[in-house]
């Protein structure tokens, strides 16, 4: 977006006009309106640049994830539908609050040393954060899904399935073939097995600190073959 040479020259032309009627009052008026004209164009340019930048972020999220994952209806209008996007640094406090609902918020400890925002998807409804899901690429063909949490008030609404499908689709597009996860909840394990084709590897990993379910002291490792996974099943 550019401002034409004519636009910049118009205020200068107004400023160069000489009016000497009523003691130069018209010269002052012309100068004032010329400056106002110029500032209005600068403001419009800055506002439109901001809109373009915000629009590009939204387009990326829509293009990457809406094709195979229509937003599940939560309410009666578009403001109550789930939207997926990538996080920014400003989302970090809200992300921690969502993770806290599953006791996954102890980032920086032995169980979860880091939780990179660039390896994460967010779900929101009307600008409220309602889900978080992370992943980690281990090598050219192997990855693991990390923390995923949905606040209790938003569970059973398809949000977790939407987030899981998003990260599996993304990882497969990056060439990942084997996908692992650790889980300490039998109901969630059954959900992974039923909807996403995960299988138990037989491996159990002791927890290094209280994390997730407090009455469980180990993780159960699951594996998914992304080549055979059908996102529409």
CATH number at residue 191: 3.40.630.30
Looking at residue 114, its pLDDT comes to 96
More confident residue, 1 or 80: 80
H or E element in which residue 224 lies: strand 218-225
Domain extent for 33:
5-64
- The mean pLDDT of 74-82, rounded to a whole number, is 59
Q: Are residues 42 and 150 in the same domain?
A: no
Looking at residue 80, its pLDDT comes to 66
More confident residue, 60 or 207: 207
Q: Which two tokens mark 193?
A: 């097995």
Q: Are residues 58 and 96 in the same domain?
A: no
pLDDT tens digits, 19-59: 333 444 444 444 544 444 444 444 333 433 333 333 333 42
For the chain, percent of residues with pLDDT exceeding 70: 66
Q: Are residues 156 and 102 in the same domain?
A: yes
| Positive or negative: CA dihedral 38, 43, 46, 49 | negative
Q: Are residues 98 and 48 in the same domain?
A: no
Q: Are residues 13 and 96 in the same domain?
A: no
Q: Are residues 57 and 75 in the same domain?
A: no
Torsion angle in degrees (nearest 10) through CA of 179, 183, 186, 189? -20
Give the model's confidence band at 62: pLDDT under 50 very low, under 70 low, under 90 confident, else very high: very low
Looking at residue 74, its pLDDT comes to 47
Q: Which two tokens mark 161?
A: 């399935």
Q: Tell me if the pTM is above 0.85.
A: no
Looking at residue 221, its pLDDT comes to 98
Contact by Cβ (8 Å): 85, 65: no
- Secondary structure (3-state) at 200: strand
Contact by Cβ (8 Å): 169, 135: no
122 pLDDT above the threshold of 80: yes
More confident residue, 220 or 37: 220
Torsion angle in degrees (nearest 10) through CA of 174, 143, 100, 159? 50
Looking at residue 36, its pLDDT comes to 46
Looking at residue 79, its pLDDT comes to 53
**Token pair 């899904």 is at which residue?**
145
Give the model's confidence band at 231: pLDDT under 50 very low, under 70 low, under 90 confident, else very high: confident
> Where does a domain end: 42, 64, 86?
64
H or E element in which residue 125 lies: strand 120-125
Give the model's confidence band at 170: pLDDT under 50 very low, under 70 low, under 90 confident, else very high: very high
- The mean pLDDT of 1-26, rounded to a whole number, is 42
């Amino acid at each position: 977006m550019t401002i034409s040479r004519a636009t910049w020259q118009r205020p200068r032309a107004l400023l160069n006009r000489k009016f000497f009627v009523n003691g130069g009052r018209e010269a002052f008026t012309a100068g004032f309106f010329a400056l106002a004209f110029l500032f209005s164009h600068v403001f419009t340019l800055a506002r439109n640049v901001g809109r373009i930048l915000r629009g590009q972020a939204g387009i990326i999220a829509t293009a990457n994830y809406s094709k195979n994952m229509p937003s599940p209806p939560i309410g009666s209008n578009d403001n109550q539908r789930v939207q997926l996007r990538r996080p920014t640094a400003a989302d970090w406090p809200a992300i921690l609050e969502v993770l806290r609902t599953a006791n996954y918020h102890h980032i920086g400890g032995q169980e979860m040393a880091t939780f990179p925002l660039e390896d994460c998807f967010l779900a929101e409804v009307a600008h409220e954060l309602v889900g978080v899901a992370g992943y980690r690429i281990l090598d050219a063909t192997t990855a693991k899904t990390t923390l995923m949490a949905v606040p209790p008030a938003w569970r059973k609404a398809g949000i977790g399935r939407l987030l899981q499908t998003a990260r599996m689709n993304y990882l497969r597009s990056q060439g990942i073939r084997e996908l692992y996860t650790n889980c300490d909840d039998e109901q969630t394990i059954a959900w992974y097995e039923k909807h996403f084709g995960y299988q138990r590897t037989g491996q159990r990993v002791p927890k290094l600190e209280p994390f997730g379910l407090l009455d469980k002291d180990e993780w159960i490792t699951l594996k998914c073959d992304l080549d055979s996974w059908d996102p529409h099943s």
